[in-house]
C-alpha cells in the first residue's frame, strides 16, 4: 500500500547521510532486520549474525552488544530520529494527525520569523514580545519539546528561541513539510508548503494567523495589515493569493509588500 503521508519515516531517514549506504532508509531496514533476528536467536554472536544476514560484522556489532558488554547497543542516527518523531506523533504526518496543526503552525513560524540551519537542522524561532513568547512556548509544549532561549532581545533584534529537546529531529520534520532551510531572501528558491493546497480550512487559516502575527504591521487609524518580505515575486504572489483565498477578501502585492485589506483582516479575525 503506498504511503500517503506528508512526512513518513522513510522521508525522515533520508534527511541523513550515511557513509555505508547510498539510501539511509536501507540502513534503517538493515538495523531492524538485525535487531529482530538477534532477538529471535539470542545465542548468536555478532559474527554469526553477520554471516547469516550477509552484513559486515563491524557494522552490526554496535547494534547487538550483549547486556554485560561495557557499552550499550547503539542505534544509527536515522533510527533514533524515527523513534523520537514517532514518540512525539510527528510522523507519519497527515492532516488528521493529532500534532499536525501544531507542526503546520511551526512551519508558518519558520517562514515568517524563524530559520532552520542546513547542517544540524535546528529550528530557531524569533519572538518580538511577551505575548509572542507565550504563543511559541505553548506551541512547542504542544509538540512535546519545550522552549529555551538562544539569544536575548537586543536593540532592534527580537529574542531567539529553540526547542529544548529533540531540536534537530523536529527541524527535519518541519523541512519535510516544506519549511525552508538556510538563507531566506529574494534569491532563495522558497515556495509555500505544498500541503497547504489540499489542507483543511482550519490548517490554512492557522498558517496565515501565525504569519500575520509575526510579520504583519498594523495601523492605529485603519484595520489594514501589511508586511514586507525580501522574497521572490512568485512567492509573494502565492502568499497573497493564499490569504485572499482563505479570507475571501482583497489582498494585493506592491513590489515586496503584501497588503491585507481591512475586510480580509476582519474575515480572518487576526
Q: If DSSP states are collapsed to H, E and C, what string results for 101-153?
A: HHHHHHHHHHHHHEEECCCCCCEEEEECCHHHHHHHHHHHHHCCCCEEEEECC
Whether 220 maps to a domain, the answer reads: no
Q: With a cut of 60, say whether residue 171 has pLDDT above it.
A: yes
Q: Which residue in 84, 234, 106 sits closest to 178, CA to CA?
A: 106
pTM for the structure as a whole: 0.93
Whether 125 maps to a domain, the answer reads: no
Q: What angle do CA 35, 40, 43 make, to 5 degrees?
A: 95
Whether 24 maps to a domain, the answer reads: yes
Which tens digit of pLDDT belongs to each residue from 120-143?
999 999 997 666 899 999 999 999
The whole-number pLDDT of residue 3 equals 65
- Per the structure, the count of domains in the chain is 1
The whole-number pLDDT of residue 68 equals 60
pLDDT-wise least confident of 64-73, 78-87, 128-137, 242-251: 64-73
Whether 28 maps to a domain, the answer reads: yes
Question: What are residue 127's phi and psi, to 5 degrees?
Answer: -125, 150
Q: Which residue in 75, 72, 104, 265 sits closest to 198, CA to CA?
A: 104
- CA 199 to chain CA centroid, Å, is 16
Whether 124 maps to a domain, the answer reads: no
Q: With a cut of 70, say whether residue 67 has pLDDT above it.
A: no
Average pLDDT over the chain, rounded to whole? Answer: 92
Whether 51 maps to a domain, the answer reads: yes
Domain that holds residue 61: 19-75
The whole-number pLDDT of residue 83 equals 98
Whether 25 maps to a domain, the answer reads: yes
β-strand pairing of 225-228 with 217-218: antiparallel
Quick one: pLDDT band at residue 184, thresholds 50, 70, 90?
confident
Whether 55 maps to a domain, the answer reads: yes
The Cα–Cα gap between 16 and 224 comes to 44
SS3 47: helix
The whole-number pLDDT of residue 1 equals 43
Amino acid at each position: 500500500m503506498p504511503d500517503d503521508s506528508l512526512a513518513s519515516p522513510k522521508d525522515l531517514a533520508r534527511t541523513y547521510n550515511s557513509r555505508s549506504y547510498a539510501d539511509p532508509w536501507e540502513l534503517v531496514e538493515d538495523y531492524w532486520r538485525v535487531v529482530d533476528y538477534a532477538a529471535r536467536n539470542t545465542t548468536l554472536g555478532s559474527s554469526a549474525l553477520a554471516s547469516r544476514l550477509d552484513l559486515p560484522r563491524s557494522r552490526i556489532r554496535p547494534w547487538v552488544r550483549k547486556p554485560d558488554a561495557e557499552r550499550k547497543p547503539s542505534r544509527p542516527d536515522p533510527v533514533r530520529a524515527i523513534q523520537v518523531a514517532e514518540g512525539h506523533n510527528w510522523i507519519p504526518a497527515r492532516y488528521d494527525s493529532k500534532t499536525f496543526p501544531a507542526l503546520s503552525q511551526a512551519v508558518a513560524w519558520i517562514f515568517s520569523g524563524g530559520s532552520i540551519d542546513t547542517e544540524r537542522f535546528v529550528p530557531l524561532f524569533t519572538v518580538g514580545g511577551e505575548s509572542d513568547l507565550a504563543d511559541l512556548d505553548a506551541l512547542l509544549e504542544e509538540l512535546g519539546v519545550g522552549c529555551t532561549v538562544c539569544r536575548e532581545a537586543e536593540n532592534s533584534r527580537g529574542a531567539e528561541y529553540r526547542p529544548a529537546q529533540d531540536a534537530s529531529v523536529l527541524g527535519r520534520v518541519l523541512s519535510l513539510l516544506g519549511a525552508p532551510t538556510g538563507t531566506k531572501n529574494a534569491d532563495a528558491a522558497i515556495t509555500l508548503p505544498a500541503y497547504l493546497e489540499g489542507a483543511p480550512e482550519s490548517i490554512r487559516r492557522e498558517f496565515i494567523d501565525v504569519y500575520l502575527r509575526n510579520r504583519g504591521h498594523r495601523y492605529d487609524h485603519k484595520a489594514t495589515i501589511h508586511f514586507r518580505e525580501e522574497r521572490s515575486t512568485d512567492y509573494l504572489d502565492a502568499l497573497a493569493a493564499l490569504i485572499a483565498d482563505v479570507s475571501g477578501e482583497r489582498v494585493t502585492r506592491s513590489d515586496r509588500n503584501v497588503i491585507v485589506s481591512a475586510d480580509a483582516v476582519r474575515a480572518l479575525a487576526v
